[in-house]
Amino acid sequence: MIEVSDTPIDASAALCAIQAEAVGAGAIVSFTGLVRQHSISGHVETLHLQAYGTMTVKGIEAAAARAKARWPLNALHVRHRVGDMSAGETIVFVAAASAHRRAAFEAADFMMDYLKTEAIFWKKEVTPNGEKWIEPRDEDYRDRARWTVEAE
């Protein structure tokens, strides 16, 4: 289940949804990403996230397909917000269900690294000092490189 939407994400409901779908799974790992109040630009009043329609969704679907090929998953859900958000709001929810915990942890981690570096989103922070478009941090690219060791 892949969803990119400007409506708020209810992480608890999203977790229930994957649990209902992942019949037979022994583990579900979920990650909820929240909008931070502070960044290097200062106090964040609004985070604005832009996607490019089907290209963004297709990219996430392709990454999910790679995850499913790599780990035995019963279900994999990704929900991503776009539009204007305030600090504390849920920006992303990722959950992976598998027979055992290791695959679920790794698949969720892999999907988050994809979303932080390669996913087709543009992000603007609005602070009291003005607006600024944000690019990935070096740390995000390093995190993502962890998954390229084996054939992918």
Partner 1 sequence: MMVQLVYLGRLSDVSGQMTEDCELPDHVGDTSGLRVWLDRRFRSDGAFTHATVRIALDGEIVADPYPLRGAREIALMPPVGGG
Q: Which among 21-29, 35-43, 50-58, 66-74 is the span making contact with partner 1, rule CB under 8 A?
A: 50-58
Q: How far apart are the first and last CA of the chain?
A: 22
For partner 1, the binding residue among 3, 39, 52, 66 (CB under 8 A) is: 52
For partner 1, the binding residue among 117, 126, 127, 147 (CB under 8 A) is: 117
Q: Is 123 in the site for partner 1 (CB under 8 A)?
A: yes
Q: Is 120 in the site for partner 1 (CB under 8 A)?
A: yes
DSSP state of 39: E
Helix (H) or strand (E) holding 62: helix 53-70
Q: Is 3 in the site for partner 1 (CB under 8 A)?
A: no
**Exposure b/e, 124-144, CB count within 10 A at least 16 = b:** ebbbeeeeeeeeeeeebeebb
For partner 1, the binding residue among 43, 58, 100, 101 (CB under 8 A) is: 58
x/- track of binding to partner 1 for residues 70-109 (CB under 8 A): ----------x----------xx-----------------
How far is Cα 84 from Cα 81, in angstroms, rounded to an integer? 9
Query: Are β-strands 38-39 and 42-43 bridged in parallel, bridged antiparallel, or unpaired?
Result: antiparallel
How far is Cα 75 from Cα 98, in angstroms, rounded to an integer? 7
Residues near partner 1 (CB under 8 A): 33, 49-50, 52, 54-55, 58, 80, 91-92, 115-124, 131, 133-136, 140
